[in-house]
Chain A
Amino acid sequence: MKKIVLTLLIFVVSLIAKEADDIIKKLDENMRGQNISIIISMKIVSLGHERMMKIQSYSEGTKKSFTKILYPPKDKGITFLSLNNQMWQYVPRIERIIKIPPSMMLQNWMGSDITNDDMVKQSSIVEDYDAKIINKEKNLVTIELTPKEDAAVVWGKIVTIIDLETYTSKKDIFYDEDDKEVRFFIYDKVKKFGKYYIPTLWRIESADRKDRYTEILLEDVKYDTEISQEYFKKSALKRFSR
C-alpha cells in the first residue's frame, strides 16, 4: 500500500514539474519563435528626464542575436552581436570592435535598466532554471524559477506570473542570492503575430530606484522570416553599422 502511495506521489510531483516546464517552454517559444526581427522603441527615464532610443534587433534561436542602434543620431550605428552567450560591441565613433568581458555583464546596457546579461542570456530561463508552480488562479499561474546547480546565472531566483490564455508573462520579479527583490519586468498590450503572442509594452523597474525606469515598445515584430546569416557573424558588427 505504502509503495502505491509513494509511486502515486512521485507521479503527481513529476506531472506538476512537467507542467511548469511546459508552460515555460511555451512562453519562451512565444518570445522568440524560430527567429524574430523587431524594431524597438526604448524610453529611459532617469535623473528627471527622458531619453529615447530606437533599436533594430534580429535573433535566431537562443544563441544568436544582432542589435543596431537607429536613434539618437549620436549613437546611431552602434551594433551588438551575441553568439553563444558571448557579446561584442562596435562603436563607429572609435571604429573599434570590443568584446564585453564577463565582469561587465551585469552593467546596464546603454544606460537603460536592462543589463548586458539580459541581451545575451534570454534563453536561460529554459536551460538554466528549474521551474516550479507556486500558485494557480484561473488563467494566471505563478512559477518560481530557481537556478540549476551548475548554471552560471546571476539571479538567486525569478518569479514569473504567466497568462495561460496567451502563454505570455505579465510580470517577472528578479531576486538576488539573499532572496531580496532587485527588479521587475512588467508586461502589457499582448498582441498576436501569426501563431505567436507577445507583450508589446515592457516596463523595467529597479526595486531600489523608484525614480527611474525603462519602457520598451515592440513596434514592428516579424516572426519566422528569412534573416540573413550574415547578421550573426563578427564582420556584421562593422558591415551593418552603416
Chain B
Amino acid sequence: MFSLAFKNIVFYKGRSVATFLLTFISSILLIVYVSMMDGSHKSMLENALKIYTGAIEIYKKGYRDIGGNEYLLKDVETINKKLSHINGIETYTSRYETYALLSSKEYSTASMIAAIEPDKEAKLSSIKKALTQGVFLNTNSKNCFYMGEGLVKKLNIKLGDEVAFVGTASDDSFAANLFKLCGTFKTGSFEFDSTTAFVSKNYFDELMYAQNKASYISIKVNDLKNVDTINNQINSVLNDNSLESLTWKTLMKTMVEAMEVDSIFGYISLALFLIVIFFVIMIYGFVNISSRIKEFGVLESIGLSKINIFKLLFYEILILTSLAILVAMPLASYICYYYSINPIIIDGISDMYKEYGIVSDEIPFAFEPLRIFYNVLIIYLLNFLSILYPYYYIHTFTPLEASKHV
C-alpha cells in the first residue's frame, strides 16, 4: 500500500508539488512566527524585570490590596536568614515604600519614596545603571534623593537643591525632613520616572521608625525558568500564613495578560492563514481524488477494502507532509536559532532605547526544540484532516458506480 501511495505521488505531480510547497511554507511560517512571538514576549518580560520588579517578592498579605503601615513586614532579618538557605536565589533586598509629599521652593507633588539597600539593589535591579546625573546612593548616604528625571522636572530642581519631605512614618506619626538631590535616573518608564525617588534605607529607617521593617522583599533568581520551584521552596521555608510569596506572573499580571492577548491575536491571524492553506491542500486533494474515482472503483472491485483506500490516502499525505517538513523544519529551526543568538534590532527604536541605557532594544527569537516539535505536529494534524472530506466523497460511491464514473 505504501509503494502504491508513493507511485501515486510521482504520477500526480501537480497535486504533489502544490501540497509539498503549501506544507513547506506553512511549516516555516508557523515555526518562525511562534518563535518570534515567544522571543519578543520573553524580551518584554526581561526588560520589565530589569527595571525594578523582582522575579519573586514577599509581602504581608493585604499589603498589595489595601496597603498601609498595618501590612508592613515586621521582622525582615528573620526572613532574610531563611532566604539565605534557598538554592537558586541570586540575591534579595528589602524595600520600604511610602507615598509622601515632596516640595521644592516653588512646587509640591505627591511621590513614591522607595527606601532601598543601595549595594544589594545595584545587583538586583538596573536602577543604578539608569543614572543620568550626579551619583547613585550608598549604604551611608544620609538625606540624599536619587530621583526620576520626570519628578526632578516637576519640582523644577537641580543637583544639590533642597527638597522637603512630608509623610507618615511607619507608626502613623508625622514625619518630615529636608533632603538634597544627589542623583537622577531615567528608566524609560514615564510613570516610574515621574513619580519615584529613592533614598538609602539605613537613613530612612530612622526617620520613619522602620528598623527591621519593609514593604516587601524583592528576590532575583539565577534562572527565571525555575521561578515556580524556588517560590514553592520560599513558601515552605517561611511557613507563615500571614505572608505571601508571589512570582512575576502575579506581580506583573497586567503585562502577562497583555502578552496572552497578544499571543491570542497572533495565533488567530496565524490560524486564519493555516485554514486557507488547509482548504487549498484539501481542494487540491479533492480535485485529484475526483479524477481518480474510476481508479478507486476498479481497486475496490478487485478486493481493496474501504479501510485500505483510507490507508492509501493517508500514506500519500503522510509522505508529502514528511518530505515538506524534512526540508522546512531544519531551515525554520536554523532561522530561530540564528535570531535567538543574533536578535533583530529595529532601527529608530534602537536609538530611542539606547538613550535610556537599561531597556534592551533587541527582539530575540525563542529557540525551543519542543515548541518546534509541537508546531510540526499541528501541520501533520491539519494535513491529515484535509483527507477526510475527499475520503468521504469516495465513500459515497459503490464500487460499480465508481468503476463506471467518467
**Bound Cα distance from A137 to B397, whole angstroms:** 86
Q: Which residues of B contact A78 (CB under 8 A)?
A: 174
| Inter-chain contact A91/B70, CB cutoff 8 Å | no
Give the contact stretch, choosing among A4-12, A29-37, A104-112: A104-112
Q: Which residues of B contact A98 (CB under 8 A)?
A: 101, 103, 108, 164, 166
CB contacts under 8 Å to B, within A4-50, are 44, 46-47, 49
Q: Which residues of A contact B68 (CB under 8 A)?
A: 209
A81 to chain B, nearest CB (A): 14
Which single member of A46, A49, A74, A99 contacts B103 (CB below 8 Å)?
A99
Contact status of A91 and B164, CB under 8 A, knowing A101-B108, A208-B66:
yes
Interface size bracket, A side: 20 to 34
Which single member of B70, B101, B164, B168 contacts A100 (CB below 8 Å)?
B101
| Inter-chain contact A111/B164, CB cutoff 8 Å | no
Q: Which residues of B contact A222 (CB under 8 A)?
A: none
Contact status of A47 and B172, CB under 8 A, knowing A100-B108, A208-B66:
yes
| Inter-chain contact B110/A91, CB cutoff 8 Å | no
Q: Which residues of A contact B66 (CB under 8 A)?
A: 208-209
| Inter-chain contact A209/B101, CB cutoff 8 Å | no
Contact status of A103 and B70, CB under 8 A, knowing A91-B166, A98-B164:
no
| Inter-chain contact A209/B173, CB cutoff 8 Å | no
- B178 contacts chain A at the CB level, 8 A cutoff: yes
| Inter-chain contact A209/B103, CB cutoff 8 Å | no
Contact status of A108 and B168, CB under 8 A, knowing A96-B103, A99-B103, A99-B108:
yes
- What does DSSP make chain B's interface, helix, strand, loop or mixed? strand
Q: Which residues of B contact A63 (CB under 8 A)?
A: none
Contact status of A74 and B174, CB under 8 A, knowing A96-B164, A101-B109, A209-B70:
yes
A188 to chain B, nearest CB (A): 24
- B257 contacts chain A at the CB level, 8 A cutoff: no
Give 1 or 0 for each of B166-183: 1 = CB within 8 Å of chain A CB.
101101111011100000
Q: Which residue of B lies closest to A72 (CB)?
A: B173
CB contacts under 8 Å to B, within A69-107, are 74-75, 78, 89, 91, 93-94, 96, 98-101, 103-104, 107
Q: Which residues of A contact B109 (CB under 8 A)?
A: 101, 103
| Inter-chain contact A107/B178, CB cutoff 8 Å | no
**Bound Cα distance from A208 to B62, whole angstroms:** 11
Q: Which residues of A contact B176 (CB under 8 A)?
A: 91, 93-94
- B235 contacts chain A at the CB level, 8 A cutoff: no
**Bound Cα distance from A129 to B66, whole angstroms:** 29
| Inter-chain contact A104/B110, CB cutoff 8 Å | yes
- A51 contacts chain B at the CB level, 8 A cutoff: yes
Give 1 or 0 for each of B154-195: 1 = CB within 8 Å of chain A CB.
000000000010101101111011100000000000000000
Q: Which residues of B contact A44 (CB under 8 A)?
A: 172
- B69 contacts chain A at the CB level, 8 A cutoff: yes
B68, B70, B110, B172 — which one has the most chain A CB atoms within 10 A of its CB? B172
Which single member of B70, B108, B168, B169 contacts A212 (CB below 8 Å)?
B70
| Inter-chain contact B173/A74, CB cutoff 8 Å | yes
**Bound Cα distance from A74 to B68, whole angstroms:** 22
- A211 contacts chain B at the CB level, 8 A cutoff: yes
B154 to chain A, nearest CB (A): 10
B contacts, CB < 8 Å to A: 66, 68-70, 99, 101, 103, 108-110, 164, 166, 168-169, 171-174, 176-178
Of all A-B residue pairs in the complex, the 5 with the closest CB atoms, nearest first, are A111-B172, A98-B103, A103-B110, A96-B164, A91-B176
A contacts, CB < 8 Å to B: 44, 46-47, 49, 51, 74-75, 78, 89, 91, 93-94, 96, 98-101, 103-104, 107-108, 110-111, 208-209, 211-212
CB pairs A–B below 8 angstroms (8 shown)? A47-B171, A75-B173, A75-B174, A93-B177, A100-B108, A101-B108, A111-B174, A209-B66
